[in-house]
């Protein structure tokens, strides 16, 4: 028999309202007792007595046994979630940045206080990837997890490739439709995808990694030349987070644009849609597809976690407890495409091998093999010079190398 959940809800934006819409259509033994909001002057669709600006009306209310956190302020979200866990309340959160930055602390708090934090909605909205990694793949060796984790950047890339829009016009359309923020850096810069990747890797490989150690290079320097190159090669450009098992001892994580061919699942995932591809040793390749944002899709993932708490569900972090777990490394080689203006940048990146080099009066590019650590060391220089980099394993078909010098192909 499920227990009744009395919820304190933080945030009543797009996702909070979407969650409420779904809950009121169901009979799930769930009641929203109080909703904390930031702006008391904003017109709401529910009775005024349901709302408060005082977080303690939720966190100190003995009637409330479950906290649902759906706000945009990272540190405020951590304060709310950690306080709730310490005071014996279970929590559902959709704050990917907060969870990625504080994951080890949150795991420790759950263990110390016997509470549960669930966060399916923090990774790819309605796609149920965290629960699948926890339960379906718990005893499976995963070769890789990759996909399209950010709908805003995918919308911009799709508009550029499919509709021949330049980057700025495509981004403006994404912002007008509400897919991208006024400051789009987190989306187009690959930060949002990185936070989601870090969370997924904790369940896939048992790795709790500081996001600052994971490379993210985005699409903000994309040009018509890069799209032209992709079309000539019959490829599309996608912003792809990758978690890859390299051997029995190491795994790597990074976020980069990637050239994908028509035989890959990612090729046909366009506009605001997300997907996750899992390559497993025994289950082989599996593909999850759906909307990664929006009130009702994300609200459905939040509700799934809330419903699981009625039966005291907890993440077990099974792979993190394995005696012979994987270690994280950036010492891997990638096959990349680099469109550049500054010749000194090519020298600074210290290509292990150059496969192709092109010069014209308009633009220059080079393809070749490079160590991921060199990209990390020159990340700001790459951005400042407006160079564009894409992961390009299809261009050479290089296979996985030895443990000493890993070469990634996803």
Active site residue 319: no
Contact 336, 370 (CB under 8 A): yes
Residue matched to tokens 């310490």: 86
In whole angstroms, give the CA distance from residue 238 to residue 279.
18
Token output for 308: 């699981």
- Asked if 69 contacts 59 with a C-beta cutoff of 8 angstroms, the reply is no
HSE-up of residue 175 (Cα within 13 Å, Cβ side): 12
Strand 332-340 versus strand 406-407 pairing type: parallel
Cα 154 from chain centroid (whole Å)? 13
Q: Which of 97, 196, 236, 319 is catalytic?
A: 196
Tell me how far the alpha carbon of residue 65 is from its chain's centroid.
29
- Cβ atoms of 240 and 218 closer than 8 Å: no
Please list the residues that pair with 117 across neighbouring strands. Answer: 91
Tokens of 359: 């010069």
Active site residues per annotation:
196
């Amino acid at each position: 028999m499920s227990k009744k959940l009395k919820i304190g809800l933080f945030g009543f934006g797009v996702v909070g309202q979407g969650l409420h819409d779904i809950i009121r259509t169901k009979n799930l033994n769930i009641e929203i007792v109080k909703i904390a909001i930031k702006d008391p002057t904003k017109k709401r669709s529910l009775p005024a007595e349901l709302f408060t600006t005082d977080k303690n009306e939720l966190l100190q209310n003995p009637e409330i046994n479950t906290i649902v956190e759906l706000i945009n302020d990272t540190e405020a979200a951590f304060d709310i979630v950690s306080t709730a866990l310490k005071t014996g309340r279970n929590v559902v959160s959709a704050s990917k940045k907060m969870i990625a930055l504080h994951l080890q602390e949150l795991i420790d708090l759950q263990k110390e206080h016997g509470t549960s934090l669930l966060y399916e909605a923090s990774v790819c909205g309605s796609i149920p990837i965290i629960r699948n990694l926890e339960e379906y793949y718990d005893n499976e060796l995963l070769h890789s997890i990759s996909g399209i984790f950010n709908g805003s950047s995918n919308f911009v890339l799709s508009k550029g490739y499919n509709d021949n829009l330049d980057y700025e016009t495509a981004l403006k359309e994404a912002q007008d439709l509400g897919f991208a923020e006024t400051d789009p850096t987190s989306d187009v810069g690959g930060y949002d995808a990185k936070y989601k990747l870090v969370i997924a890797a904790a369940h896939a490989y048992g790795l709790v990694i500081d996001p600052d150690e994971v490379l993210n290079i985005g699409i903000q320097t994309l040009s018509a030349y890069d799209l032209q190159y992709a079309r000539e090669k019959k490829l599309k450009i996608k912003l792809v987070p990758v978690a890859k098992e390299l051997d029995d001892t190491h795994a790597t994580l990074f976020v980069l644009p990637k050239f994908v061919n028509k035989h890959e699942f990612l090729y046909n995932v366009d506009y605001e849609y997300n997907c996750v591809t899992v390559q497993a040793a025994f289950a082989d390749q599996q593909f999850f597809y759906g909307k990664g944002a929006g009130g009702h899709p994300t609200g459905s993932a939040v509700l799934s976690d809330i419903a699981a708490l009625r039966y005291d569900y907890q993440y077990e972090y099974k792979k993190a407890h394995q005696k012979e777990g994987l270690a994280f490394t950036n010492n891997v080689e990638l096959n990349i495409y680099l469109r550049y203006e500054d010749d000194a940048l090519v020298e600074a990146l210290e290509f292990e091998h150059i496969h192709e080099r092109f010069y014209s009066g308009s633009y220059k590019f080079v393809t070749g093999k490079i160590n991921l650590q060199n990209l990390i060391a020159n990340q700001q220089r790459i951005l400042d010079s407006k160079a564009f980099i894409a992961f390009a394993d299809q261009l050479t078909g290089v296979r996985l190398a030895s443990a000493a010098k890993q070469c990634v192909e996803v």
